[in-house]
Amino acid sequence: SATGNSSANARLFAPYKIYKGKAALSVDPILPTFSKINSGTGGLRVDRCGVIMLTFCPAIAERKYDWEKCQKFALSPTEVGSLISMSAHGASEFYHDPSMKSSNAGQVSKKLSIKALDGGNSYMISLTVTNNILKSTERLNVPVTTAEFAVLKTACSFALPHIIGWDRLTNQLPKGIEGSPSKVNPKQHFDLEWDR
Amino acid sequence: SATGNSSANARLFAPYKIYKGKAALSVDPILPTFSKINSGTGGLRVDRCGVIMLTFCPAIAERKYDWEKCQKFALSPTEVGSLISMSAHGASEFYHDPSMKSSNAGQVSKKLSIKALDGGNSYMISLTVTNNILKSTERLNVPVTTAEFAVLKTACSFALPHIIGWDRLTNQLPKGIEGSPSKVNPKQHFDLEWDR
Amino acid sequence: SATGNSSANARLFAPYKIYKGKAALSVDPILPTFSKINSGTGGLRVDRCGVIMLTFCPAIAERKYDWEKCQKFALSPTEVGSLISMSAHGASEFYHDPSMKSSNAGQVSKKLSIKALDGGNSYMISLTVTNNILKSTERLNVPVTTAEFAVLKTACSFALPHIIGWDRLTNQLPKGIEGSPSKVNPKQHFDLEWDR
Amino acid sequence: SATGNSSANARLFAPYKIYKGKAALSVDPILPTFSKINSGTGGLRVDRCGVIMLTFCPAIAERKYDWEKCQKFALSPTEVGSLISMSAHGASEFYHDPSMKSSNAGQVSKKLSIKALDGGNSYMISLTVTNNILKSTERLNVPVTTAEFAVLKTACSFALPHIIGWDRLTNQLPKGIEGSPSKVNPKQHFDLEWDR
């Protein structure tokens, strides 16, 4: 491990959960992974982008859910952008093929639908998983209140810079403080357009 | 204690206070608590969700409040979502029973009401505490200006990711920087839908 | 000093500056100060709330300003709330007496006016300083574009939780991770309404 | 280097990329640089403001881009303010001369145009680079969906306080915790208007 402070590295489980009659929805940000750049400057590059993981679990009794039969849908940064910009009359649909570009492509398809109802007074989030081999379709519906949707939007807006890796900016020390103070340059950021 | 840096662990008191004629309202975020996951991976799980604590204290004289007779109401994340998504014509009511699921259930009930007045030019935040044993009702009203409500919304939006534990994402080191750079995978986050 | 890492304690000067024909406006957040609570728990309390400091400096020639003759106006958290919630047709006025509650009260008064023009296509920010002893009035006007006002709103919204001390939440370690995992309590935050 | 923790200093590459048919757009925040203030107080001053760097690269085949022929445009904080406040019917144009105030001024000019289409259902971001010596004009167009634009707005709003240096506020220790608790002063921030 890179550090003796193991709690800093520890995976954190802090899903936001919405429990409803027929299914539960759990929302959980997954951070990007980074890799070192070979050049020896110690630079880091985002290797695999983060996601907001949605996990839908079917109800088996009142307030009981079957956590073994959950279905997942990983929202990419742009799909998160679609969620957080949704208006009170909007609707979004996303399609994923978990085996995309492999030999199993097309066997299973997932559709996530987010729909505003009643002019934004509530929302329906639905995951449909179609298995074309087994000829089966599973559909998990979670009705979401305006208040719950506001939590989703606020939490996902907060998480978005983190899943694209921009929050790492905060942790960096300021550049240039070791050198002698450079003179203030009136054409400062135009330089960047040439030099970089 | 887990660390020699006691100030990092210290409880911080930084309530946002609104002093009005008949009562004062103090708004204070309470962080979630975490517990270690048994698996030995050093993972952490949110144990008890955070809240935004509202404390109402009655006035006893001009600019003097009776801090011994305050009443509390703890906004859950979803209730915070309701507050921050309130429109200039909206209203919200929340009901809590502090003894819920105990043998004292129903003895005391609390109602918090937040109402926009004048098309959003001001707001009224009221806490009503009813004691069904003593047959008593206490009502504490705090009128709130648009500017004060904007502080509440902005501060609660900021605090929301913290009370659900998502701010802890920022403190983690990037994953994967120790290993060799993995190849960029075009179907990156679809994998997550299978593997996890 | 509390720490060997002096750069962490160093005062940072990072004003956002708007240079216009007759005056320059510099916007700079000032953090709150904290004091230790006597109880020995190591707790901290906000002692003096932070502000957003506005500094207006008169022009003396083209792109030259007289930095010795600047006038200051310190926006409180609630005044910041007023700024960030201003609509495209709104206006705000704030009055400060820098000698309030002293024997010099009333000698000098400051008025800050923020006004949307043209349905939000531009803004005028004006500081008027009246000295009732010298019978003098100084007025400093800074016209602000929509883009500059968007920077002000975004930066002040970011700074607001910091000036009320809520950003310190982020720096705290999670509570409860040292103890044995507590059982999940279905009435979790209702407890807080009793116990605290 | 100021620290033994090299990963904290490492340059991070985490661009948000939008790949389209004729060009790719990469969006990347660049932090400000700081210099020490001579006074010996250990204070830091923003030396060179940060930017959001936009990099446009032309397509050479399906899903292939010529990374050697990219053109850059560095958005200043105020230009970022213009982007994040753009309405669903708005348009912005920015002009840069990368050789401004040098003897080469006027040889090359760059125009960035951001235009909402279809009432905010999509956006067109275009960079036009005109070389007045070579009599050449290059134009790179990237159509952007509402969802992608929402990511841009959210990520740039997040980055804005960082590029003006205000995020450094978070890293500072609270002031005043070492001294004896000062008495609470009812005219607290008015003092600041005199003393500073």
- From the list B12, B36, B159, which residue is nearest C181 (CB)? B36
In angstroms, what separates the C-alpha of B102 from chain A's closest C-alpha?
A: 19
Amino acid in the structure at residue D43: G
Would you state the pLDDT for residue A7? 39
Would you state the pLDDT for residue C12? 74
Contacts of B12 in chain C (CB under 8 A): 34, 43-45, 165, 168-169, 172
Two tokens, residue A99: 């085996």
- Identify the band that residue D33 occupies on the pLDDT scale cut at 50, 70 and 90: confident
Query: Is the CB of residue B177 less than 8 Å away from at least one CB of chain D?
Result: yes
Contacts of D154 in chain A (CB under 8 A): 81, 84, 157, 160-161
Would you state the pLDDT for residue C170? 58
- From the list C84, C165, C175, which residue is nearest B150 (CB)? C84
Q: Which residue has the higher pLDDT, D188 or A163?
A: A163
Give, for C18, the enclosing helix (H) or strand (E). Answer: strand C16-19
Chain C: residue nearest A174 by CA? C7
Rounded Cα–Cα distance for residues B19 and D117 (Å):
47
Task: Name the neighbours of C, counting chains with at least 3 Cβ pairs within 8 A.
Answer: A, B, D
Would you state the pLDDT for residue A43? 76
Would you state the pLDDT for residue A94? 97
The three-point CA angle A88-A89-A91 to 5° equals 105
Contacts of B177 in chain D (CB under 8 A): 7
CB A27 within 8 A of CB A14: no
Residue C176 in domain: no
- Identify the band that residue D99 occupies on the pLDDT scale cut at 50, 70 and 90: confident
Contacts of A45 in chain B (CB under 8 A): 181
Cβ-based neighbours of A91, under 8 Å, separated by 6 or more: A113, A114, A115, A116
Q: pLDDT digit string (tens) for A1-50? A: 233 333 344 567 889 999 999 999 999 999 898 888 776 666 788 888 99
Q: Which residue has the higher pLDDT, B119 or B109?
A: B109
DSSP secondary structure string, chain B?
---S-HHHHS-EE--EEEE-SSEEEEEEEE--EEEE-TTSS--EEEEE--EEEEEEEEEEETTEE-GGG-EEEEE-HHHHHHHHT--TT-EEEEEE-TTTTSTTTTSEEEEEEEEEEGGGTEEEEEEEEEETTTTEEEEEEEEEEHHHHHHHHHHHHHHHHHHTTTTHHHHSPPBTSSSPPPPP-TTHHHHHHHH-
Query: Is the CB of residue D39 less than 8 Å away from at least one CB of chain A?
Result: no
Taking CB atoms and an 8 Å limit, are B46 and A102 in contact across chains? no
- Identify the band that residue C191 occupies on the pLDDT scale cut at 50, 70 and 90: low
Residue D178 in domain: no
- Identify the band that residue B124 occupies on the pLDDT scale cut at 50, 70 and 90: very high
For the segment D148-159, the average pLDDT, to the nearest whole number, is 96
Query: Is the CB of residue D12 less than 8 Å away from at least one CB of chain A?
Result: yes
- From the list D7, D173, D177, which residue is nearest B177 (CB)? D7
- From the list D44, D72, D102, which residue is nearest A174 (CB)? D44
Taking CB atoms and an 8 Å limit, are A82 and D30 in contact across chains? no
Residue B57: pLDDT above 60? yes
- From the list A38, A98, A150, which residue is nearest B194 (CB)? A98
Q: pLDDT digit string (tens) for C136-187? A: 999 999 999 999 999 999 999 999 999 999 987 754 544 444 333 333 333 4
Contacts of B42 in chain A (CB under 8 A): 6-7, 9-11
User: Residues 115-144, chain A: which have Cβ within 8 Å of B?
Assistant: none
Rounded Cα–Cα distance for residues B47 and C188 (Å):
10
Q: Which residue has the higher pLDDT, C111 or D106?
A: C111
Q: pLDDT digit string (tens) for B29-44? A: 998 988 887 766 667 8
For the segment D5-26, the average pLDDT, to the nearest whole number, is 78
Residue D64: pLDDT above 70? yes
Would you state the pLDDT for residue C107? 92
Chain A: residue nearest D159 by CA? A166
Contacts of B80 in chain A (CB under 8 A): 151
Taking CB atoms and an 8 Å limit, are C150 and D46 in contact across chains? no
Cβ burial, residue A64 (10 Å; 0-12/13-18/19+): exposed
Query: Is the CB of residue C101 less than 8 Å away from at least one CB of chain B?
Result: no
Task: Name the neighbours of B, counting chains with at least 3 Cβ pairs within 8 A.
Answer: A, C, D
Taking CB atoms and an 8 Å limit, are C166 and B155 in contact across chains? yes
Would you state the pLDDT for residue B10? 58
- From the list D6, D12, D72, which residue is nearest A169 (CB)? D12
Residue B1 in domain: no
Residue D188 in domain: no
Would you state the pLDDT for residue B3? 30
Query: Is the CB of residue B99 less than 8 Å away from at least one CB of chain C?
Result: yes
Question: What three-state secondary structure class fits A54?
Answer: strand
Q: What are phi and psi of C147, to 5 degrees?
A: -65, -45
Q: Which residue has the higher pLDDT, D100 or C159?
A: C159
Q: pLDDT digit string (tens) for A122-157? A: 999 999 999 999 999 999 999 999 999 999 999 999
CATH number at residue D153: 2.30.31.10
Chain A: residue nearest C63 by CA? A186
Q: Which residue has the higher pLDDT, D188 or D105?
A: D105
Query: Is the CB of residue A25 less than 8 Å away from at least one CB of chain B?
Result: no
In angstroms, what separates the C-alpha of C31 from chain D's closest C-alpha?
A: 8
Residue B59: pLDDT above 80? yes
ipTM of the complex: 0.86
In angstroms, what separates the C-alpha of D145 from chain C's closest C-alpha?
A: 22
Residue B5 in domain: no
Taking CB atoms and an 8 Å limit, are B7 and C44 in contact across chains? yes
Would you state the pLDDT for residue C39? 65
Query: Is the CB of residue D91 less than 8 Å away from at least one CB of chain A?
Result: no
Q: Worst-scoring range by mean pLDDT, B121-135, C129-143, C177-191?
A: C177-191
Taking CB atoms and an 8 Å limit, are B164 and A16 in contact across chains? yes
Two tokens, residue A162: 């983190």
- From the list A38, A100, A158, which residue is nearest B166 (CB)? A158
Residue B175 in domain: no
Q: Worst-scoring range by mean pLDDT, A134-148, D4-18, D74-88?
A: D4-18
Q: What is the mean pLDDT of chain D?
A: 82
Which of B157, B47, C166, D120 has its CA nearest to residue A156?
Answer: B157
Would you state the pLDDT for residue C84? 95
Q: pLDDT digit string (tens) for A57-107? A: 999 999 899 999 999 999 999 999 999 999 888 899 999 998 888 888 889
Contacts of D162 in chain B (CB under 8 A): none
Residue B46: pLDDT above 80? yes
For the segment D53-81, the average pLDDT, to the nearest whole number, is 96
Residue B2: pLDDT above 60? no
Query: Is the CB of residue B8 less than 8 Å away from at least one CB of chain A?
Result: no
In angstroms, what separates the C-alpha of C125 from chain D's closest C-alpha?
A: 17
Query: Could you give the C-alpha distances from C60 to C18, C23, C24, C70, in angstroms and in order?
Result: 16, 9, 11, 12
Would you state the pLDDT for residue C193? 74
Would you state the pLDDT for residue B98? 86
Could you say which DSSP state residue C3 is in?
A: -
Contacts of B97 in chain C (CB under 8 A): 190
For the segment B120-129, the average pLDDT, to the nearest whole number, is 94
For the segment D68-90, the average pLDDT, to the nearest whole number, is 94
Query: Is the CB of residue D90 less than 8 Å away from at least one CB of chain C?
Result: no
Residue B187: pLDDT above 60? no
Q: What is the mean pLDDT of chain A?
A: 82
Q: Which residue has the higher pLDDT, A98 or D71?
A: D71
List, in sequence order, the alpha helices (H) in A37-196.
77-84, 146-163, 168-171, 188-195
Residue B67 in domain: yes
Residue B178 in domain: no
Rounded Cα–Cα distance for residues C76 and C83 (Å):
11
Residue C18: pLDDT above 60? yes
Taking CB atoms and an 8 Å limit, are A192 and D158 in contact across chains? no
Rounded Cα–Cα distance for residues B34 and B47 (Å):
5
- From the list B7, B173, B177, which residue is nearest D177 (CB)? B7
Q: Give the strand pairing for A12-13 and B44-48.
A: parallel
Contacts of A156 in chain D (CB under 8 A): none
- Identify the band that residue D191 occupies on the pLDDT scale cut at 50, 70 and 90: low
For the segment C72-78, the average pLDDT, to the nearest whole number, is 97
Chain A: residue nearest D148 by CA? A78
D78 Ramachandran zone, left/alpha/beta (phi>0; psi -120 to 50): alpha
Mutate to test the interface with C, among B9, B100, B111, B170 (most CBs of C within 10 A): B9
Would you state the pLDDT for residue D39? 65
Taking CB atoms and an 8 Å limit, are B110 and C193 in contact across chains? yes
Query: Domains in chain D: how many in total?
Result: 1
Chain C: residue nearest D77 by CA? C151
- From the list D167, D179, D196, which residue is nearest C72 (CB)? D196
Taking CB atoms and an 8 Å limit, are B1 and C184 in contact across chains? no
Would you state the pLDDT for residue D154? 96
Query: Is the CB of residue C148 less than 8 Å away from at least one CB of chain D?
Result: yes
Q: Which residue has the higher pLDDT, C134 or A176?
A: C134
Q: What is the mean pLDDT of chain B?
A: 82
Structural domain boundaries enclosing C137: 8-161
Taking CB atoms and an 8 Å limit, are A35 and B181 in contact across chains? yes
In angstroms, what separates the C-alpha of A49 from chain B's closest C-alpha?
A: 8
Rounded Cα–Cα distance for residues A123 and C128 (Å):
49
